Amino acid sequence: MELIFKPLEQKEAIVVLGWQYPSPYDRYNFVRGNFSEDDLKKALIDLTNPENAFFSIFGERNTLEGVCSFGPDGQVPGGDYSKKALDIGMGLRPDLTGKGLGQQYAAAVVKFGISRYRPQQLRVTIAAFNRRAQTVWQRLGFTPIARFTKTNGQDLFTVMTCSSEGFVSPERGIKQS
């Protein structure tokens, strides 16, 4: 599987904003409830701002298969992010989830992040209910270090970290472009 990472552009951001996940993963849907045109404009500005480090993930047939981010977008209000680490966020197109592909995509995202940002420490914050995602990241060498409740919410989150040197790559033909 060859994956290509490109800065997220508006046309891909519009597609990503429309992704709809089934319950219980529907909390990852960008568009929920009363999502106004102003909300859409703000989301597009945030997703395409180079300072926010969002990237499209394209597959071998140049199809949009996922999105990732590096930096503060991967942080959840209420968590302790005082230790220096590269925060990673990732989402796959809904039809690709639940098929055992997460580890390959996550490994490619980590490799891309390491090559681009050269961090010593990596960090992901995952909703506590999402055992599927936690398993993916644990298989890559990430260890749970904290659990917290999101500010002004009831949702629990798990913070996981890994040193760049401790990252375990599955090496299943993943290539970086």
Q: Mean per-residue pLDDT for 119-137?
A: 96
The gap between the terminal CA atoms of the chain, to the nearest Å, is: 12
Q: Is the pLDDT of residue 1 over 90?
A: no
Structure tokens at 57: 């993930």
pTM: 0.91
Which amino acid makes up residue 67? Answer: V
Tokens standing for residue 18? 């429309």
Question: What torsion do the CA atoms of 40, 45, 46, 47 make, to the nearest 10 degrees?
Answer: 80
Query: Per-residue pLDDT for 174 more than 50?
Result: no
Give the model confidence (pLDDT) of 72-120 as tens digits: 999 999 999 999 999 999 999 999 999 999 999 999 999 999 999 999 9
Please answer whether residues 75 and 125 qualify as being in contact, where contact means their C-beta atoms are separated by less than 8 angstroms. yes
Average pLDDT over residues 145-169: 92
User: Which pLDDT value is given to residue 176?
Assistant: 39
What kind and span of H or E run contains 138? helix 131-139
